[in-house]
Amino acid sequence: MNNRKYYIDNLRSFAILLVFVAHIIIIYSQDHTFYIQGEQFLPAIFMRIIATFLMPLLFAVAGMSSRYALERRSAGEYTKERVSKLLLPLIFGTLLIIPVQPYIAALHSNGEANYFDSFTKITDLTGYDGAFTPANLWFLLYLFVVSMICLPFMMWYKNKGKGTLGDKVPLIPVILMGLIPCITQNEALKIIAIDGKSILEYSAYFLLGYFFLSNDNLLKKLDKYRFLLLGMTVLYTWFMEVILDGEFREAAYWLAILVILGMGRHYLNFGGKITAYLSKSSFGVYIFHQSWIVIAAFFVFKVTDSPVLQIPLISLSSVILTYLTYEIFRRISVFRWMFGLKK
């Protein structure tokens, strides 16, 4: 019997594709900075709606996946997999794929740039000024660090024979656990933060995914009450934005994660050739996509000043180049090893 949770793979693939969309939208988004920027005509709400819950969702799903992985792997096997899947792609991606982004950022802003500043100049790690940055690979960096820091505690809990906590905690307290990521926004707790991204916040989503969202009975509840949770998310998001002026926004992300998992379990639990390909390619797409978006935008801007033409040209060219890069790299063994790709 095949007990594979296809909806987890499908949600991860969907999230990666939305990140792709978000990184095109941010070029034109008000109140946001990026490596290359065009006419900023899109209200910031577009970026907020699409992008804000995506990375929390990916960390929560990573926590769930770690729970499933540790059911059949030792700590050593898990560590080896994290090194090959996260650390090596982070290192080689930062050295070989990412530097073009800060280089183009400096070239776009100043008209001139030094490519080696991407390796030798250290500022705020965003790379928007042409200096060194992990760029979109901050996700791999954070996930590797979080996985390794949490591993001893996860193994201790596993070896105690304890199950997930979703069976023991009713749905309402699970909803209220969205306050935990809110606590991490205290300035004193922002120990590591690249471009405002707190590693403690994402650690919270990872651990909530590991201990709660990996529980089948809780996932059934999220499925059953998916529309109720959707209503709560919409109502709370309005209340948070209008009444609280954006405070406790992380609780809205958590509610969105619960809704997405409930909806995904109900509507996306299927496999097929297309979904299998999207799942297999999603990791490579994440690594390669942003550099191609920045390159495509740089050259498209030289061709036309019209966003109506720029957006489809950037989208089409970056999608083609990203998947072409993935298809080439996955066929060459050394590149598969360097970037953690599946054949």
| Confidence (pLDDT) at 342 | 87
| Rounded-to-integer distance, Cα 249 and Cα 286, Å | 25
* Interval 98-130: pLDDT, tens: 999 999 999 999 888 999 999 999 999 999 999
Can you say how many angstroms the Cα of residue 301 is from the centroid of all Cα atoms in its chain? Answer: 27
pLDDT grade for 188, boundaries at 50, 70 and 90: low
SS3 250: helix
Q: Region 258-273: what's the mean pLDDT?
A: 95
CA distance linking residue 55 with residue 61, whole number of Å:
10
Average pLDDT value for residue range 174-200: 79
Nearest-angstrom CA–CA distance, 92 and 273: 30
Give the residues across from 198 on adjacent strands: 193
- Give the relative orientation of helices 249-267 and 199-208 as an angle to the nearest 10 degrees: 40
Euclidean distance between CA atoms 258 and 246, whole angstroms: 20
Q: What are the helix (H) ranges across 84-184?
A: 88-96, 100-110, 117-120, 138-159, 171-176, 179-183
By residue count, the chain amounts to: 343
Non-local (6+) Cβ contacts of 81 within 8 A are: 69, 73
pLDDT per position as a tens digit, 310-339: 999 999 999 999 999 999 999 999 999 999
From the DSSP assignment, how many helices (H) and strands (E) are in the chain?
A: 17, 2
Q: Rg of the Cα trace of the chain?
A: 20
3-state secondary structure of 160: coil
**pLDDT level of residue 1 (50, 70, 90 thresholds):** very low
**Which neighbouring-strand residues pair with 29?**
42
What stretch of H or E contains 197? strand 197-198
**pLDDT above 90 for 238:** no
Band (156; pLDDT cuts 50, 70, 90): confident
Going along the chain, which residue ranges are E strands? 193-194, 197-198
Residue 337: φ, ψ to 5°: -65, -45
Tell me the C-alpha distance between 68 and 213, whole Å.
11
239-260 confidence digits (pLDDT tens): 887 787 778 888 999 999 999 9
Q: How confident is the model at residue 193, as a pLDDT?
A: 67
Q: Is 42 helix (H, G, I), strand (E, B) or coil?
A: strand
pLDDT at 309 over 50: yes
Q: Are 31 and 44 in contact (CB under 8 A)?
A: yes
Mean pLDDT of 156-174: 78
User: Mean pLDDT over all residues of the chain?
Assistant: 91
Residues 266 and 10 sit within 8 Å (Cβ to Cβ): no
What does the pLDDT look like over 11-69, one tens digit per residue?
A: 999 999 999 999 999 999 988 899 999 999 988 877 777 766 899 999 999 999 999 99
Element spanning 198, H or E = strand 197-198
Domain ranges (residues) in the chain:
58-98+134-269
The tally of CA atoms less than 13 A away on the side-chain side of residue 320 is 7
The C-alpha angle 155, 160, 161, rounded to 5 degrees, equals: 100
The pLDDT value given to residue 45: 76
Q: In this prediction, what percent of the chain has a pLDDT beyond 70? A: 94
Predicted confidence (pLDDT) at residue 166 exceeds the cutoff of 70: no
DSSP annotation string for 273-297: HHHHHHHHHHHHHHHHHHHHHHHHH
Give the model's pLDDT for residue 2. Answer: 52
